[in-house]
């Protein structure tokens, strides 16, 4: 039986009062492992506090390893481990659920159908171009092949990125750009520097799941901001900000992963207004930028790297094997983040940065992207037609990129559907993996370059009782 006595007059916030009461009753074994916690609504009513307060308290207790949430069922006291150990490991456990899924995607054999992968098939990429640049790099007398690179990364590539960002309307001098081992490492370095254990971080719901795992590893408390077709739901964001003090909002503006949606200018402006008012930083992940055929809105375009830190990558268009990504930030932040990079990996691979630089500057990257965008548009059409034949509902028709977000009618959660697909070696990513607390979701992410094969349509048609052609 949970006993809480809250005191509005106390300096300690109500959320912390609940957290403390629950923790001490679990520590004292008044609440025992497996016991069900009062439902959020009920506790909120009995204590005369808002549901937000209870949600945040429960979230923190989950992050601390005191509670576990069970899908559709509620919150339970977590199994006890000796010492303080269990509590800290628990958050890693949850982070690792995500890592496990990622590992499945990376390590899946050649016969696995990666119908929901986050990247393109290798043979869609410019392998010949890469081979040609390898040979040319091997002959350049000025190639630096053996020495450590500089802390911030290969200067000519940073200068090239300055030009690229200027095309997006973002002003960033080379000293504001830090090269990293892919976008995920850029996000990792940001989390290391900006997020302390126990900090609240706002994330897209749904959003990039591997980074949710990274944030959990860092001890962050994740609060999801629902996505709409024009970007994060700013009404909900404002309501959340009445109850949370986030340090950072991590979001994805262009060809959002997983929904494929773009940010509208009006929503971008409101987010930046709220960031100013509530004093948080925004990390804008732009991993899929080069798949978008047209100019579109970015937060960093409005804000000019004042409150926004911009993250990009060449893993999707050039090579996931090279591990070249970058971040762009305010000069003072860029310097600090360079130091964090140095402490965590000395330097990134200048060797690979030289290769990417050569590929960007020899003039054919733009033409290559045009072809790729054309091929993706065609695959997207095919995927949308397949989805229509099977009878799934599409979230939106994406303006580019690799993702289609769709749901079968009548499902509350598609986790079991994804498991059945996995048994046939078809990798389907169920919506719950993109949600910050792995809440149930009826949505599926399709990768248009992989999903339009007969096996996927057959599986979905048969399983959902549709009429596959």
Give the Cα separation of 451 and 403 in Å (integer): 10
Among 37, 62, 77, 182, binds a second copy (CB under 8 A): 182
Angle among Cα 130, 286, 93 to the nearest 5 degrees reads 95
403: Cα separation from own chain's centroid? 14
CB 174 to a second copy: min, Å? 13
Question: How many residues at the interface with a second copy, by CB under 8 A?
Answer: 70
Among 130, 369, 422, 455, binds a second copy (CB under 8 A): 130
CB 294 to a second copy: min, Å? 25
Among 116, 352, 441, 447, binds a second copy (CB under 8 A): 352
CB 89 to a second copy: min, Å? 9
Interface with a second copy includes 369 (CB under 8 A)?
A: no
CB 353 to a second copy: min, Å? 9
Among 137, 377, 394, 455, binds a second copy (CB under 8 A): 137
Candidates 273-281, 348-356, 366-374, 438-446; binding stretch for a second copy (CB under 8 A):
348-356
Angle at which helices 331-345 and 183-194 cross, to 10°: 100
Interface with a second copy includes 99 (CB under 8 A)?
A: yes
3-state SS, one letter per residue, for 176-188: HEEEECCHHHHHH
| Residue where the block lists tokens 């804000």 | 303
DSSP lists the bridge partners of residue 429 as 445
CB 224 to a second copy: min, Å? 18
Rg (alpha carbons) of the chain, rounded to whole number: 23
**Type and span of the H or E element at 326:** strand 325-328
What do you get for the CA distance between the two ends of the chain, in Å? 57
Burial 290-303 (b: 16+ CB within 10 A, else e): bbbbeebbbbbbbb
Interface with a second copy includes 184 (CB under 8 A)?
A: yes
Question: Do 424 and 108 touch, CB atoms closer than 8 A?
Answer: no
Give the Cα separation of 370 and 263 in Å (integer): 22
CB 267 to a second copy: min, Å? 29
Question: Do 22 and 66 touch, CB atoms closer than 8 A?
Answer: yes
CB 215 to a second copy: min, Å? 9
Candidates 38-46, 50-58, 262-270, 339-347; binding stretch for a second copy (CB under 8 A):
339-347
Binding to a second copy, residues 234-293 (CB under 8 A): none
Q: What is the DSSP letter of 144?
A: -
Q: In what order do the strands lie in the sheet with 429-430?
A: 393-394, 403-407, 444-447, 429-430
Candidates 90-98, 167-175, 365-373, 403-411; binding stretch for a second copy (CB under 8 A):
90-98
Question: Of the two residues 147 and 242, which places its CB atom closer to a second copy in the complex?
Answer: 147
DSSP lists the bridge partners of residue 445 as 405, 429
Among 162, 200, 348, 447, binds a second copy (CB under 8 A): 348
H runs (alpha helix) in 108-229 = 127-139, 155-167, 183-194, 209-217
Interface with a second copy includes 315 (CB under 8 A)?
A: yes
Give the Cα separation of 453 and 383 in Å (integer): 9
Can you say whether residue 432 is alpha, beta or left, with left for phi > 0 and alpha for psi between -120 and 50 degrees? alpha
Question: Of the two residues 152 and 176, which places its CB atom closer to a second copy in the complex?
Answer: 152
Give the Cα separation of 461 and 469 in Å (integer): 9
Give the Cα separation of 326 and 190 in Å (integer): 11
Give the Cα separation of 344 and 315 in Å (integer): 21
Candidates 51-59, 137-145, 234-242, 448-456; binding stretch for a second copy (CB under 8 A):
137-145
* Residue 387 exposure: Cα atoms within 13 Å on the Cβ side: 27
Interface with a second copy includes 323 (CB under 8 A)?
A: yes
**Burial class of residue 181, CB neighbours in 10 A (0-12, 13-18, 19+):** buried
Interface with a second copy includes 119 (CB under 8 A)?
A: yes
Among 139, 294, 366, 367, binds a second copy (CB under 8 A): 139
Among 343, 378, 381, 388, binds a second copy (CB under 8 A): 343
Interface with a second copy includes 65 (CB under 8 A)?
A: no
Binding mask 194-233 for a second copy (x = CB under 8 A): --xx------------x--xx--x-x--------------
Interface with a second copy includes 135 (CB under 8 A)?
A: yes
Interface with a second copy includes 181 (CB under 8 A)?
A: yes
Interface with a second copy includes 146 (CB under 8 A)?
A: yes
Interface with a second copy includes 422 (CB under 8 A)?
A: no
| Residue where the block lists tokens 């996927």 | 456
CB 46 to a second copy: min, Å? 31
Question: Of the two residues 17 and 297, which places its CB atom closer to a second copy in the complex?
Answer: 17
Question: Do 372 and 216 touch, CB atoms closer than 8 A?
Answer: no
Name the residues that contact a second copy, by CB under 8 A: 88, 92, 95-96, 98-100, 102-103, 106-107, 119, 122, 125-127, 130-132, 134-135, 137-139, 143-152, 181-182, 184-185, 188, 192-193, 196-197, 210, 213-214, 217, 219, 315, 318-323, 336, 338-340, 342-352
């Amino acid at each position: 039986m949970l006993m809480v006595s809250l005191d509005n007059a106390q300096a300690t916030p109500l959320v912390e009062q609940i957290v403390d009461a629950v923790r001490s009753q679990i520590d004292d074994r008044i609440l025992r492992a497996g016991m069900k916690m009062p439902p959020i609504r009920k506790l909120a009513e009995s204590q005369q506090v808002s549901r937000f307060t209870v949600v945040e308290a429960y979230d923190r207790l989950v992050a601390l390893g005191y509670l576990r949430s069970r899908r559709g069922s509620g919150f339970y006291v977590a199994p006890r481990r000796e010492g303080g150990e269990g509590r800290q490991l628990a958050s890693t456990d949850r982070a690792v659920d995500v890592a496990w899924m990622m590992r499945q995607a990376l390590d899946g054999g050649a016969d696995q159908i990666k119908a929901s992968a986050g990247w393109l098939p290798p043979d869609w990429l410019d392998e010949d171009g890469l081979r040609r640049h390898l040979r040319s790099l091997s002959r350049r007398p000025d190639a630096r092949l053996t020495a450590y690179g500089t802390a911030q990364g290969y200067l000519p590539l940073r200068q090239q990125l300055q030009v690229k960002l200027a095309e997006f309307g973002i002003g960033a001098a080379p000293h504001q750009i830090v090269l990293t081992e892919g976008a995920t490492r850029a996000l990792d370095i940001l989390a290391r520097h900006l997020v302390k254990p126990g900090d609240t971080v706002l994330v897209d719901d749904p959003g990039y799941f591997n980074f949710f795992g990274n944030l959990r590893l860092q001890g962050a408390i994740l609060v999801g901001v629902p996505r709409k077709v024009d970007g994060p739901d700013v009404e909900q964001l404002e309501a959340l900000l009445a109850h949370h003090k986030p340090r950072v909002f991590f979001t994805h503006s262009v060809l959002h992963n997983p929904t494929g949606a773009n940010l509208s200018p009006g929503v971008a402006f409101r987010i930046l207004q709220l960031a100013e008012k509530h004093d948080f930083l925004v990390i804008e992940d732009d991993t899929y930028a080069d798949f978008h055929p047209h100019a579109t809105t970015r937060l960093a375009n409005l804000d000019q790297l004042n409150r926004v830190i911009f993250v990009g990558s060449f893993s999707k268009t050039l090579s996931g094997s090279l591990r070249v990504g970058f971040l762009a930030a305010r000069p003072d932040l860029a310097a600090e983040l360079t130091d964090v990079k140095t402490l965590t990996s000395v330097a990134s691979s200048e060797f690979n940065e030289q290769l990417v630089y050569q590929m960007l500057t020899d003039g054919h990257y733009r033409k290559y992207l045009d072809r790729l965008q054309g091929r993706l548009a065609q695959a997207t059409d095919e995927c949308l037609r397949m989805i229509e034949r099977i009878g799934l509902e599409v979230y939106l028709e994406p303006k580019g990129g690799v993702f289609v977000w769709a749901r079968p009618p009548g499902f509350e959660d598609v986790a079991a559907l994804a498991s059945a697909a996995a048994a046939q070696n078809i990798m389907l990513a169920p919506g719950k993996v993109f949600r910050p607390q792995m809440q149930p979701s009826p949505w599926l992410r399709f990768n248009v370059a992989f999903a339009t094969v007969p096996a996927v349509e057959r599986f979905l048609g048969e399983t959902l009782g549709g009429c596959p052609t």
